[in-house]
Homo-oligomer: A and B are copies of this chain.
């Protein structure tokens, strides 16, 4: 069965790392049909729209989407694209790889971030000259859907439940609803949980990242705390992510467009290629997914490496090395 894969490179190094990941996927000789589309600063300049309707429609109909990065228009591109795939969870692994310089080399976390609401629901008003407001929305249904997903996620025997991270001591009604709903669903599924305030989590994950494993949290908490974890593992350069919906999903590196090195052919394609490995797993190609993960890890450990990791290889060199190791 052919799978249609939307490919949206975007801006900056997105134009370099996305084709690299497609090259890896093509090397697996799976029956994928790749369809490319535009989004980001460049297409905004050309057409007046950062996310053309065709691109939105493509993501909303393809089996899976691979997205690179967008510049100043990042929020205008990625937030609607998450909606296009009806993504209710953002999966963000943050793992320190052997051989890579990390602040906390034993970090191995997965964030399951609520992906539809919280402050991202985006209802804002300027009530008076002085006063602006934002309505943060938390629903029982979105919290329960995320919790069901989290319960499935940890049912593989490799995890002892998950941590619920929240700020319900201040946001009592909204994060209280989030915390209580996630806990109730976990209890119903016989999944163990513990509860950690998001500020305490920030301290504790620096001091001892090994005490955490899978972290379930609201949207903005997931944004900030997964980026914190990225700092602990040595930067955004290696972090993949998946935006999963009921019928389709979108995969993207956590890094941005890296304007300082864009166009030089030296961007590290690892995060996008690991995102492609998550795409493979999502579509059921488990063996291929594992092969890509292993090839990337072997390459990170033994080289060649791009300059961000202290090497002098190009994007093409690293991609070729990964393909050779498949």
Contacts and interface: CB of A to CB of B under 8 A. Distances in A.
Interface in A123-141: 124-126, 129-141
Contact of A173 (B125, B169, B173, B202): B125
Given A170-B120, A173-B124, A135 B132 contact: no
A23 interface: no
A225 B243 CA distance: 25
A202 B174 contact: no
A148 interface: no
A74 B202 CA distance: 18
Contacts of A109: none
A54 interface: no
Given A75-B170, A103-B103, A207-B235, 6 more contacts: A75-B169, A103-B206, A132-B177, A170-B220, A200-B227, A205-B231
A174 B134 contact: yes
Contacts of A124: 171-174
Interface string A243-260: 000000000000000000
Using C-beta atoms within 8 Å of the partner chain, give the interface range for chain A: 35 or more
A19 B59 CA distance: 62
Nearest to A225: B202
A98 interface: no
Contacts of A230: 202-203, 206
How many copies, total?
Answer: 2
Given A103-B206, A224-B224, A228-B228, A135 B133 contact: yes
A129 B133 CA distance: 23
B136 A133 contact: yes
A137 B141 contact: no
Interface of A: 74-75, 79, 103-104, 119-120, 122, 124-126, 129-141, 167, 169-174, 176-177, 198-200, 202-207, 220, 223-225, 227-228, 230-232, 234-236
B207 A228 contact: no
Contacts of A204: 231
A209 to B, nearest CB: 10
A73 B223 CA distance: 28
B133 A174 contact: yes
Contact of A141 (B104, B120, B130, B206): B130
A204 B232 CA distance: 10
Contacts of A139: 130-132
Contacts of A120: 170
B132 A174 contact: yes
Contacts of A103: 103-104, 206-207
Contacts of A122: 170
Contacts of A74: 169
Nearest to A120: B170
A206 B125 CA distance: 34
Contacts of A228: 202-203, 206, 228
A90 to B, nearest CB: 12
The 7 A-B residue pairs whose C-beta atoms are closest, nearest first, are A206-B231, A124-B173, A202-B228, A199-B227, A203-B231, A134-B136, A202-B227
